[in-house]
Structure 1
Amino acid sequence: MKKRITLFAFVAMFLSLIILPNVTHADAQTPEGELRVGMEAGYAPFNWTQNNDSKGAVKIQGDDSYAGGYDVQMAKKIADKMNRKLVIVKTEWDGLLPALQSGKIDAIIAGMSPTAERSKEIDFSDSYYTSQLVIVTRNDTKYAQATSLEDFKDAKITAQLGTFHYDVVDQIPDVNKQEAMDNFPAMRVALESGVIDGYVSERPEGVTAESVNPELHMVEFSAANGFQTNPEDTQVSVGMRKGDSEIAQVNQILAEIPEDERVEIMDQAIKDQPAAEEVATNSSGKKENVFVRILRQNGGMFLRGTGVTLLLAIVGTTVGTLIGLLVGVFRTLPEAKNKLNRFFQKLFGWLLSAYIEIFRGTPMIVQSAVIYYGIAMAFGIDLNRIAAALFIVSINTGAYMSEIVRGGIFSVDNGQFEAAHAIGMTHGQTMRKVVLPQVLRNILPATGNELVINIKDTSVLSIISVTELFFQGKSAAGTNYLFFQTYFIICVIYFVLTFSATRLLRLVEKKMDGPDAYTRLEDTDVAIEADK
């Protein structure tokens, strides 16, 4: 009976860990009267992140930061005409489509073009901005003097992943096409460092890059010498779910905004972006150390991102270690004598093996997208993003820790099991009082390693709109155009976190090892025999 109760207890605890996030619905479906809009908030001048609500910026959901830019101003006009409150949901570019399809957001207003491939997945409104394609290169290269695509022969050119910009790179004769990059900050860093010779962009972004960084140059082309595109490729539209009845209303609102007003809004966005303000400040003679300026402007964002990263890493590692201990102990249970109990024991063992193999064999970023967006699309369950992130990190860590715990249990000499059973201890007592205390000490270094890994791996959770440290740093770099300096600060913060965690765990290890003067019993016995 005790074995049966223990088995059912393990099953119940394991299932509760799976079910708990599904009933934590802090992010309910869109409340009536809200318009939830997704954007990167790091693609100036279309959208960026700032610390206050100046110049018409809107607060980002779940964060103390604000989003500004052309997209935000257009979103405000749409929300006002619809009599709804605008809510900005900051999301990685790759996460925008699944966020829309799963109901996490109501619309994408993020400088997105209504390409034919995207139109298969979502519907688009009429255009709210039309741009032209340019190539951003460095001033100190021969490509800065280019006037046609042929002048970029043999150049190393790339574009953003998941955009039509990358497809048109093939129009450059004999181009050395590079792998697509995840975002514009990454491309600008690659360009400044000489990894690439240029990247394809739209004119507003090119104007911004050129104005805030004198080392960069935007190359424009005439209609005959430039990229040949379809009208929908250079247009920017509002993305909405397939069959959304509100598209007609959005189109009506956009039709009421004249072209000259749109141009005026874009020109103002270019002037208002934080990077442009820095250029004006520097030109006026007011110099400030670049690292001090970045911390002054974005210190609050970095601090909040650090807090989210630590929360996810510490809680995820702790819960994951608990899962690993439970799985490890379950695997040591002796085979049940009752046939029914033995069947359920084996069935649960197979499920545990499947869980371990699946979560060890797939990347956390894929698990995040499947769990967060997949559950919403399949079952209509809208998870709180932080609760979902904690769940993802915990079960991912638990899969690795279960194998680490298994190794720790096997490292305990079989003689100790036999000795414990010989004095009448049950299996549970043996595990609790003899084996697990040794296992916890043995796996402590590996547990610390998992904590360090989790501190770094939480960066992938930006795909589900979790604004952890790296996502905040990338947003800042996309706003201030100080890529090396911003990423260097983020690197230092990560190092401080991982180094501090390692040092603290070393102190715990020493504490568990006991005083330096501790002498093992067998050593004492040897000394006594020598005296005799």
Structure 2
Amino acid sequence: MARPSMLIALGALAVAAVACAPVDDTATTAAASPTASTGASTATACTKDQLTLITPGKLTIGTDKPAFEPWFKDDDPSNGQGFESAVAYAVAGELGFDRDEVQWETVKFDTAFAPGEKRFDFDINQVSITADRAEVVDFSNGYYTVKQAVVTLGDGKFAGASSLSDLKDAKIGVQVGTTALDAVKEVVQPAADPNVYNEQIDSINALKNEQIDALVLDLPTAFYVTAAQVEGSKIVGQFSSTGGAAPEEFGLVMEKGNGLKSCVDKAIDALKANGDLAKIEQQWLSEAAGAPELK
């Protein structure tokens, strides 16, 4: 994944209600039974009072700060607005939690999937599911399929690129610890190693200051960058970070061996099955299909 965001219209209030409203405990208990593969034996293991939580009776959700659009809105994960805030509260509702039973914990992006104990029940922060990360943390089933995007200045040397090979000689910037870095190395394969930045804002400023020719980050974030952060910039195109293999997906992050995983998986599967996840994506990420494909 990469990070921050784009400006997207709020969409219909009715959709927001579906995305964010808590579900009553009776309904969510039935929907959130654990999967057989986890070894949990009965649906009661996913009732709120049976879950092992950081704080009893509260669901603690981690994410980074600042929390950028379109994933969050107004740097406030607790308002239920933005794609990931809406997804978080929808999952919480499936698990039986009301809005006032959810608390947020600030967690740096790369800390979320580092080894060790966690201060959250799950983290939502555009973290892509990878085999290496899955060795030290548990991931939920994917909640968003990711494409990477290439952003340049509108009058930049590579603004007219129409294929990945056109970017061969570009100086590309990425954020450290993201799958965008792997995508640049393995799929774009530029002649020079990419410039790597500790924070996404540093890579954005490098593009503004023409220290790099192009920026690679996830597609929804690219729309926000071009709309609100770098005047005169453009999305050259999008590409699969896996080069045509299994698609990259974002997953909720949990401490390795967390018994909550099976219930969270069931919640995400329920949101996919009833169409709520698609409605949330349409509301907050609807522009993401508007960039040409780079091959």
Aligned residue for 2:175? 160
1:95 to 111, 119, 127: 111
Distance, in Å, in 2 between the alignment partners of 1:251 and 1:158 is 34
TM-superposed CA distance for 1:176, in Å, is 2.4
Aligned residue for 1:180? 196
TM-superposed CA distance for 1:31, in Å, is 1.9
Aligned residue for 2:159? 144
TM-superposed CA distance for 1:189, in Å, is 0.9
* TM-score (ref. length: structure 1): 0.40
Q: What secondary structure is seen at the aligned counterpart in 2 of 1:194?
A: coil
Deviates more, 1:106-115 or 1:68-77: 68-77
Aligned residues of 1:111 and 1:237 also touching (Cα < 8 A) = yes
User: Does the alignment pair 1:43 with 2:37?
Assistant: no
Distance, in Å, in 2 between the alignment partners of 1:189 and 1:49 is 21
Aligned residues of 1:45 and 1:266 also touching (Cα < 8 A) = no
Q: What secondary structure is seen at the aligned counterpart in 1 of 2:235?
A: strand
Aligned residue for 1:217? 234
1:135 to 135, 150, 159: 150
Q: What secondary structure is seen at the aligned counterpart in 2 of 1:117?
A: helix
Q: What secondary structure is seen at the aligned counterpart in 2 of 1:110?
A: coil
Q: What secondary structure is seen at the aligned counterpart in 2 of 1:159?
A: strand
1:246 to 236, 248, 260: 260
Distance, in Å, in 2 between the alignment partners of 1:132 and 1:256 is 24
Aligned residues of 1:43 and 1:184 also touching (Cα < 8 A) = no
Change (3 A) 1:76 1:67: closer
Aligned residue for 2:43? none
Aligned residue for 1:80? 93
Distance, in Å, in 1 between the alignment partners of 2:119 and 2:222 is 31
Q: What secondary structure is seen at the aligned counterpart in 1 of 2:226?
A: helix
Aligned residue for 2:214? 198
TM-superposed CA distance for 1:190, in Å, is 0.9
TM-superposed CA distance for 1:158, in Å, is 2.3
* TM-score (ref. length: structure 2): 0.69
1:235 to 235, 249, 254: 249
Aligned residue for 2:272? 258
Change (3 A) 1:96 1:68: farther
Aligned residues of 2:154 and 2:233 also touching (Cα < 8 A) = yes
Change (3 A) 1:140 1:113: same
| Structure 1: gaps of 5 or more residues | 1-28, 52-56, 59-65, 272-532
TM-superposed CA distance for 1:167, in Å, is 1.4
TM-superposed CA distance for 1:49, in Å, is 4.3
TM-superposed CA distance for 1:195, in Å, is 1.0
Change (3 A) 1:138 1:123: same
What amino acid sits opposite 2:219 in the alignment? R
Change (3 A) 1:87 1:136: same
Aligned residues of 2:172 and 2:194 also touching (Cα < 8 A) = yes
Q: What secondary structure is seen at the aligned counterpart in 1 of 2:118?
A: coil
What amino acid sits opposite 1:93 in the alignment? F
Distance, in Å, in 1 between the alignment partners of 2:235 and 2:283 is 20
User: Does the alignment pair 1:208 with 2:233?
Assistant: no
Change (3 A) 1:219 1:47: same
User: Does the alignment pair 1:119 with 2:134?
Assistant: yes
What amino acid sits opposite 2:184 in the alignment? V
Aligned residues of 1:207 and 1:218 also touching (Cα < 8 A) = yes
Distance, in Å, in 1 between the alignment partners of 2:71 and 2:231 is 21
User: Does the alignment pair 1:30 with 2:44?
Assistant: no
Alignment deviations for residues 413-453 of structure 1 (CA, whole Å, 9 cap, x no partner): xxxxxxxxxxxxxxxxxxxxxxxxxxxxxxxxxxxxxxxxx
Distance, in Å, in 2 between the alignment partners of 1:116 and 1:247 is 17
Aligned residues: 227
Aligned residue for 2:23? none
Distance, in Å, in 2 between the alignment partners of 1:50 and 1:132 is 23
Change (3 A) 1:228 1:36: same
Larger Cα-atom Rg: 1
Alignment deviations for residues 41-99 of structure 1 (CA, whole Å, 9 cap, x no partner): 43321235447xxxxx51xxxxxxx674211111111112222322111222133235x
Aligned residues of 1:137 and 1:143 also touching (Cα < 8 A) = yes
Aligned residue for 1:315? none
Q: What secondary structure is seen at the aligned counterpart in 2 of 1:255?
A: helix
Distance, in Å, in 2 between the alignment partners of 1:186 and 1:104 is 27
Q: What secondary structure is seen at the aligned counterpart in 2 of 1:201?
A: strand
Change (3 A) 1:128 1:136: same
Alignment deviations for residues 132-162 of structure 1 (CA, whole Å, 9 cap, x no partner): 1111111111322111111112111121211
Q: What secondary structure is seen at the aligned counterpart in 1 of 2:151?
A: strand
Residues 486-501 of structure 1 mapped to structure 2, 5 A cutoff:
none
Change (3 A) 1:47 1:175: farther
Distance, in Å, in 1 between the alignment partners of 2:252 and 2:169 is 36
Identity of aligned residues (%): 23
